[in-house]
Chains A and B, each alone.
Chain A
Amino acid sequence: MGLVSGYNLRSMLVRKGTAAMTAMGIAMVVAVFVMTLAIAQGFRSTLVASGSTGNAIVLRKSATSETVSAVLKNQLPIIESMAQVARDGDGHPLASPELVVIISLPRISDGRPANVPLRGVGPRAYEVRDTLQIVEGRRFVPGTREINVGRQAVGRFRGLTFGSDVKFGGATWKVVGIFTADDASFESEVWGDVDLMMPAFQRGGYQSVTVKLSDPAAFSSFDVAMGADPRLDLKPQREREYYEGQSETTGTLIRVFATFVTAILSIGAMFGAMNTMYAAVAYRTREIGTLRALGFSRLRIVTAFLAESVALALIGGVIGCILALPVHGLSTGAMNMASFSELAFKFRITPGLLGGGLLFAAIMGGIGGLLPAIRAARIPVARALREI
């Protein structure tokens, strides 16, 4: 539409001041929108990164998360013997029986005690979770009071640095290695031998067993076989789906908060846009009358002014996205509602999120511009032309 791009955009620039203010108002809202959703996005991808499509996590049938699940010690060999479980070069099944307990350690930032997840794992956990990498020191030796600490946990909690001794579970443990895990939630955890953790925390069994499948496609037969075995009241889930599910509670909480905050802010921005557009319509009444006299229909006038408002809002949206971009990759932490422990993650701004921000801006512009555009179209032509 020639009228839109030429006439409206240039008219907008005539009133730079108000246009800039309106765009900035929208920009602020979009920036907040993108940043808060970047938290939700980062939280989710940190948990999702924990899950591999080639792995399956085995929980008790009714359990929704590993903390409320139980796997008996004598069920482990049954699982390990199943055909769908991958094996290493020596024929050992790639399965890791695990137990997560919460220990309390002072936070570095404010010295207050915080919940840190401690994961007891089997001797082949590092082969099952192949994204884990020791970046300092070495793996703990099974059967000893040695532990490995995730990179995020080292930076956030006191006393977890390489080489230090940590007291929990009635014993002292030595940090012999630091690991990374592609930004997954494991980086917020402390890992040690599950067979030592059980007595230390008075547990008689495991919570879960994570296995590497011989082939990702073997999952369904694994599922069927497990369901058919009367000794196993257990059910496998694809590890990735499990962690996606785990991110839901907290992710939804953050998203609801983000929506609430941005909804309130957006009301202000929409009124700003509405004000600007009403002023623009009043200022250009005679021009509108002229266009109508030339034969431009009401619909065209509505569209033109709506487009102007949306364009103005989109400019604000682009600015807002640019303002939000620097937080991408910044680290933060949040309570993981699924495990009630602290989870470190990074703000993640994805192209989809930016697209959402722009769409949100356009919607604000559209709503803010609607009434003024309708007023523009409804001005009686003869009266508009009498205006100086």
Chain B
Amino acid sequence: MALIDLRDVSKSYRRDALEIPVLNGVTITVPAGDFMGLMGPSGSGKSTLLNLLAGIDRPTRGSIRVADTEISSLSERALAGWRARHIGFIFQLYNLIPVLTAFENVELPLLLTSLSKKQRRDHVMTALGIVGLGDREKHYPRQLSGGQEQRVAIARAIVTDPTLLLADEPTGDLDARSAGEVLTLLQRLNREYNKTIVMVTHDPHAAERAVHVLHLEKGTLVEQVESRA
């Protein structure tokens, strides 16, 4: 059973009177437990596709089913709740809140749940433990290295145990060593914790860590799925 089922999805942006097509009839299925790499040149629509999967943006046409929910028809409010439960998002620039500590950043998505303070603490410490930063809970983002920041962001993405992890160039801003650590971490999440991951990347080395890789060019998939299982 496919976890993600994208059918004939198109997306265009309107700039003034101009209609700018970004995605043209993209059809993708991703089985549960997959680690999918998504490659393509700049401006090819990778982030747009990821945002559609995350329910952050809406398609102009087509159907997007994630975990058996047709998310393109959810209301704005329902979509926010759905994101909180099902999606863990990892950003290129980490997007940690600078005024919050590592602990508080990871705790953010849990504020939307009914967990008690104590339960939240347990979840946060578990997530920070998984990314190897259990001792940095009191640090603010500016007191961490880029690689550590991204690992905190990953902890934040996994702390609610979401259905799907989405990463938009998670290593794009990191040096080779930190990038390697982050990729190893994602691989571990996929293999040990059986997390389904979709990762956008420019970097062929990063893409090698994925189980499958898709290529996007000018809004369309260009190659058959390569499998490297």
A residues at B contact (CB < 8 Å): 1-3, 6-7, 10-11, 13-14, 286-287, 289-299, 380-382, 385, 388
Contacts and interface: CB of A to CB of B under 8 A. Distances in A.
B191 to A, nearest CB: 25
A302 to B, nearest CB: 12
A290 B56 contact: no
Contacts of A2: 107, 111
B57 A296 contact: no
Given A14-B99, A286-B95, A381-B57, A294 B83 contact: yes
Contacts of B82: 295
B225 interface: no
B87 A385 contact: no
Contact of B56 (A286, A293, A298): A293
A11 B99 contact: yes
- Residues of B contacting A: mostly: helix
B57 A382 contact: yes
B84 A6 contact: no
B35 interface: no
A294 B56 contact: no
Contact of A297 (B81, B95, B107): B81
B4 interface: no
B100 interface: yes
Contacts of A296: 80, 84, 112
Nearest to B52: A382
A297 B77 contact: yes
Interface of B: 48, 51, 54, 56-57, 76-77, 80-85, 87, 89, 91, 93, 95, 97-100, 104, 107-109, 111-112, 156
A382 B108 contact: no
Given A6-B104, A382-B57, A295 B80 contact: yes
Given A290-B91, A293-B83, 6 more contacts: A6-B100, A7-B97, A295-B80, A380-B57, A382-B56, A385-B51
B89 A293 contact: yes
17 contacts: A6-B104, A7-B97, A10-B99, A10-B100, A11-B99, A14-B99, A289-B95, A293-B54, A294-B83, A294-B89, A295-B87, A295-B112, A298-B77, A381-B57, A382-B48, A382-B51, A385-B51
- Residues of A contacting B: mostly: helix
Nearest to B95: A290
Contacts of B89: 293-294
Given A10-B99, A382-B51, A382-B56, A295 B91 contact: no
Contacts of A295: 80-85, 87, 109, 112
B86 to A, nearest CB: 9
Contacts of B156: 294
A296 B80 CA distance: 6
A6 B156 CA distance: 17
A-B pairs with lowest CB-CB distance, top 7:
A295-B84, A10-B99, A297-B80, A382-B57, A295-B83, A290-B95, A381-B56
A381 B50 CA distance: 13
Contact of A292 (B56, B99, B111): B56
For A14, A287, A297, which residue has the most chain B Cβ atoms within 10 angstroms?
A297
B111 A3 contact: yes
Contacts of A293: 54, 56, 83, 87, 89, 95
A298 B81 CA distance: 11
Contacts of A1: 111
B59 to A, nearest CB: 12
A385 B77 contact: no
A294 B81 CA distance: 9
B95 to A, nearest CB: 4
A38 B111 CA distance: 44
A3 B112 CA distance: 10
A194 B81 CA distance: 81
B200 to A, nearest CB: 13
Contacts of A382: 48, 51, 56-57
